Amino acid sequence: MQNQPLALINARLIDPAAGTETRGGVFIEDGVIRDAGARVTKAEVGSRTLVVDCGGDVVCPGLIDMRVFVGEPGAEHRETIATVSAAAAAGGVTTIVALPDTSPPVDDPAVVDFLLRRARDTARVRVLPSAAITKGLRGLEIAEIGLLREAGAIAFTDGFKSIRNAQVMRRALTYARDFDALIIHYAEDADLAGTGVMNAGELATRLGLGGIPAEAESIMLDRDLRLAGMTGARYHAALVSTRQGLAALAASKAAGLPVTCGVSINHLTLNENDIGDYRTFFKLAPPLRGEDERLALVEALASGLIDVIVSDHNPQDVDTKRLPFGEAEAGAIGLETMLAAGLRLVHAGHVPLPRLLAAMTTGPADILRLPQGRLAAGAPADIIRFDPDEPFLVDPAKLHSRSKNTPFDEARLQGRVKLTVVAGEVVWE
Amino acid sequence: MALPQTPAPFPHRHLLGIEGLSAGDITGLLDQADDAVVHSRQIDKKRNVLRGRTQINLFFEASTRTQASFEIAGKRLGADVMNMAVANSSVKKGETLVDTAVTLNAMRPDILIVRHHQSGAVDLLAQKVDCRVVNAGDGSHEHPTQALLDALTIRRRKGRIEGLTVAICGDVAHSRVARSNIILLNALGARVRVIAPSTLLPSGIEAMGVEVFRDMRKGLEGADIVMMLRLQLERMSGAFVPSLREYARFYGLDAEKLGFAKADALVMHPGPMNRGVEIDSAVADGPRSLISEQVEMGVAVRMAVLEALAGGLPNAA
């Protein structure tokens, strides 16, 4: 059985891979893009095709989110693959990379297999499991990188944890290189972060909360980048939040190392002042930093130093968030608001739209070596349509995630996703 | 010019911190506390301002003197006071904090006095209850009644706060007493200094309006008030400072160091003291010590706070 071909016409086509923006359409058949460009019009696609007139809306590749906590296995009360993928579809995210910090953690090929099967049966979007770098995410012994990769792990990361021991990290990078495996690391020196719960500085002092200095990130990142240079492994810094971290990455990139970095949408659009009177929805890891750091991140996004934007989707329920700030869990949901929050930077004139989209599509696709994330003929038909100017109010009750811990609660955003297509099938409209 | 007979009503629902209070709010409370001192020195100390009202002292962190002070203050005003000591071990973190708040709220208390080891916990609890809430100390954030009682003590001895130089000395990083005092003293126009080793100074403290000193003798020069902070001994064995004896040597207040302050400088301490560590017994028990007076003023200030908040209660007389 073949699906009816689909054509999205009369659209503002943005292909971040080619860096082009044209008026035209996308023609989809058998789950792949057959053609894209000004040629694709209603007259061209034939009568058998389902035609959607986009009325000048943006049509671009579906978003790829490299950092999502999917809840399965073990935290189904916070999220499931069904709910997380519904949230992703509604947010225009067509591929998600699942974090391994589950229970049990993804450190065994059987768990990778479980995730792939659950995704096949319950997900609306593509779910790619990442696997642990170290057994049990304990940071002590290397996990079975070769077997996990064979089972289908797209990359290796200890998720929310940082590997403390430099020798372990060195061996992991060295070993991963043999398999050409990508290592993704959350860089934070646990000792220096200590009991801190927010960015170190005047605000933390006023609130009487323990601070995490920028150096907790940059010292760990410096170590990692030196080890990446030493081993030649592919290294991706999961979340950069400081100018010091950016400087270290810029130097390594200039030296030609195969290193890349991501930033969370929260750190691009929020700062520590949003914590206000101990609002735990703004407790994140790494912590939200000062406005000067945020502006530096935006600049690094615009310049291309930052390769990837992630939602860092981390569903937390009331029991883990309705606590004193120091005891609350870190993390925020973000799949459904990532694009619209990112468009704030476009509307403010800080980042061009194609560049923003590149960091959510081509950027992660290149790092993960995925064929999607582009509008080329032959690419998987993962496509979204949105009007970047359409305003809406974020209503947590209407979000699809099982948890409601959004820092954009009641925020006015622009750019709701109208249509999401995965492998040629409409999964959201 | 005649003074107004009745003070302006206290314009806040709760007392969660000194932050957010105006200079007028603060002096209003201090004036009311002066009256409470008079009452407290009478044979018949009982008043009926809070008659029929229920006050619950909810202490998630052990305390003897603060809890006793609030209890006496409430009883002197005629409230029914109940002490709830929530043993830390039985508290399953904040889950119970909100649950406890909701449960207690259902018992319809009028005033809750709350102490908690987490900064911001009292704010959180205040969002979940209908009654008035007084912060009796939250983590390293604020301890507003301590700052008020310190201000009352200073004002009664020195006649003013504006223009005085106050040196706060010790573990500023972890001290809610220091934060509340810095905010209050600045609001009333004092010059505030902090004296501590850098490991006990939080980052950005200068932005709170203080002059920072690492050398105690220099920091004490010209000070009118020397306010010592209590040390938590577990922090003093290598984590923040190398040893107690080293700390006592450089930051302990003794007669010699006090000699650098003004000749009429007075010494304060929120208690309980670590004698021989942050303060020498000769100074603590000496003629320039206000430490016992602070305890007396504590009851008066808490009476003033309870009375001020009670004025805003539904069906208040």
DSSP A192-245: HHTT--EESSHHHHHHT--EE-HHHHHHHHHHHHHHHHHH--EEEES---SHHH
Binning pLDDT at 50, 70 and 90, where does residue B3 land? low
Chains A, B: CB pairs < 8 Å: 76
Candidates A273, A318, A322, partner chain B, best to mutate (most B CBs within 10 A): A322
Rounded CA separation A405/A325 (Å): 14
Q: What is the pLDDT of residues B247-275, one digit of tens each?
A: 999 999 999 999 999 999 999 999 899 99
Q: Which whole number is the average pLDDT over A134-142?
A: 97
Instruction: Tell me how far apart the terminal alpha carbons of chain B are, to the nearest angstrom.
Output: 28
Collapsing DSSP to helix, strand or coil, B111 comes out as strand
Residue partners of A34: CB distance under 8 A and separation at least 6: A5, A27, A28, A377
Quick one: which of B171, B81, B178 has its CA closest to B137? B178
Q: What is the pLDDT of residues B119-140, one digit of tens each?
A: 999 999 999 999 999 999 999 9
Q: What is the pLDDT of residues A159-172, one digit of tens each?
A: 999 999 999 999 99
Instruction: Measure CB to CB from residue A324 to each of B19, B120, B205 and give the nearest one.
Output: B120
Of A199-213, B54-68, B167-181, give the lowest mean pLDDT range: B54-68
- Residue B264 sits at the chain A interface (C-beta within 8 Å): no
Q: Give residue A20's pLDDT.
A: 86
Q: What is the ipTM of this complex?
A: 0.90
SS3 per residue for A57-104: CEEEECEEEEEECCCCCCCCCCCCHHHHHHHHHHCCEEEEEECCCCCC
Q: Per the CB < 8 Å rule, is B140 touching A209?
A: yes
Above 70 in pLDDT, residue A2? no
Chain B residues with CB under 8 Å of A202 CB are: 203-204, 207-208
Rounded CA separation B275/B91 (Å): 32
Query: Element (H or E) spanning A23, and its range?
Result: strand A20-29
Chain B residues with CB under 8 Å of A209 CB are: 119-120, 139-141
Domain ranges of chain A: 6-59+381-428, 62-368
Above 50 in pLDDT, residue B89? no
Q: Per the CB < 8 Å rule, is A278 touching B123?
A: yes
Distance from CA of A276 to the nearest CA of B (A): 11
Q: Which residues of A are the active-site residues?
A: 312
A321, A280 in Cβ contact below 8 A?
yes
Q: Which whole number is the average pLDDT over B168-185?
A: 97
Length of chain A: 429
Q: Give residue B9's pLDDT.
A: 83
Instruction: Measure CB to CB from residue B120 to each of A203, A213, A325 and give the nearest one.
Output: A325
Rounded CA separation A385/A92 (Å): 8
Distance from CA of B102 to the nearest CA of A (A): 13
Q: Per the CB < 8 Å rule, is A324 touching B121?
A: yes
Of A67-81, B4-18, B32-46, B141-155, give the lowest mean pLDDT range: B4-18
Distance from CA of A90 to the nearest CA of B (A): 32
Quick one: which of A10, A87, A18 has its CA closest to A55? A10
Distance from CA of A410 to the nearest CA of B (A): 19
For A62-368, the fitting CATH number among 3.40.50.720, 3.20.20.140, 3.40.190.10, 1.10.3720.10 is 3.20.20.140
Domains A6-59+381-428 and A62-368 share a fold: no
Q: Per the CB < 8 Å rule, is A202 touching B207?
A: yes
Length of chain B: 317
Instruction: Measure CB to CB from residue B141 to each of A202, A207, A328 and give the nearest one.
Output: A207
Mode of pairing for the β-strands spanning A383-386 and A391-393: unpaired
Identity of residue A197: V
- Residue B311 sits at the chain A interface (C-beta within 8 Å): no
Q: What is the pLDDT of residues A208-251, one digit of tens each?
A: 999 999 999 999 999 999 999 999 999 999 999 999 999 999 99
Q: Which residues of B are the active-site residues?
A: 65-66, 93, 115, 143
Q: Give residue B7's pLDDT.
A: 59
SS3 per residue for A95-123: EEEECCCCCCCCCCHHHHHHHHHHHHHHC
Q: Per the CB < 8 Å rule, is A323 touching B176?
A: no
Above 80 in pLDDT, residue B236? no
CATH topology of domain A6-59+381-428: Urease, subunit C; domain 1 (2.30.40)
Q: Give residue B94's pLDDT.
A: 46
- Residue B207 sits at the chain A interface (C-beta within 8 Å): yes
Q: Give residue A318's pLDDT.
A: 84
Q: Give residue A267's pLDDT.
A: 98
Above 80 in pLDDT, residue B88? no
Average pLDDT, chain A: 96
Chain A residues with CB under 8 Å of B179 CB are: 206, 208
Q: What is the pLDDT of residues A8-35, one digit of tens each?
A: 999 999 999 888 899 999 999 999 999 9
Rounded CA separation A325/A336 (Å): 25
Rounded CA separation A305/B276 (Å): 56
